Amino acid sequence: MDRLKGKVAIVTGGAAGIGKATVKMFLTEGARVSFWDVNPEAGKQCLGELGLSDDQVEFRQVDVTQAEQVQSATQTVCEKFGSLDILVNNAGITRDATLLKMEERAFDQVIDINLKGVYLCGQAAAKVMVEQGNGVILNASSVVGLYGNFGQTNYVATKAGVIGMTKVWARELGRKGIRVNAVAPGFIATEMVKQMPEKVITMMKEKAPLQKLGEPEDIAAAYTFLASDEAKFINGAVLSVDGGLIS
């Protein structure tokens, strides 16, 4: 407990799924958190569920593809909480189709949110962290970014790109006191996955040696560890949390 005491964190896509679990765990570990989401209803609902004071947690409606929104929100968070110690680049979407059927708009949407959004948020946070002389940036990749997946040209491209950016930033920012790492989840039982047909969920379970889906809290725990001083010598790493899916 209290592994993140005194730290200020931004979690993008924080109103549901892995992001929401991360917000909760960070708060439990003593951090103050600003979570961002493009969906105001989900954000307000999550904030109400947390039931904490405004000086501990806040919600901001932010579109991570819009540079001005990202920069303004980052600045406001720093002014309110006094620093920015952790960024979790979690926001992301899928628009799946095979290469022959994928529409250009679906490709662009996923690239904008999953890759450009990570770049914009990472850049805004890094500028603050460089001035402080310390900080942690954690990027959401995926096991498919390492090994590919049928019907996900756009999504896989973004998650592979996130790994590449993570390694570049680790080199560029490490000397300035900032650690940058990525987490690559496998099949996780988010709200979206739970709505899939049972046969698809069964197939997912059977693919992993542990024979089960991960929970959002499993990924949140990985983020918490990497954000804490326990991981102070880990930089430029990609942590797979996938139940041994690729082993």
Point out the residues that are catalytic: 155
CA-based torsion, 185, 28, 88, 196: positive or negative: positive
Check residue 214 and report its DSSP letter: B
What tokens does 31 get? 């951090």
Within 8 A by CB and 6+ apart from 41, the residues are none
Query: What is the spatial distance between Cα 86 and Cα 88, in angstroms, rounded to a whole number?
Result: 7
Hey, is 134 helix, strand or coil? coil
- The H-assigned helical ranges of 87-190 are 104-111, 117-132, 143-147, 153-174
Tell me which long-range contacts 67-75 makes (C-beta under 8 A, separation of at least 24): 67/120, 70/120, 70/121, 70/124, 71/124, 73/34, 73/36, 74/10, 74/121, 74/124, 74/125, 74/128
> DSSP readout, 19-86?
HHHHHHHHHHTT-EEEEEES-HHHHHHHHHHH---TTTEEEEE--TT-HHHHHHHHHHHHHHHS---E
**Helix or strand holding residue 139 (H, E):** strand 135-140
What tokens does 156 get? 């896989």
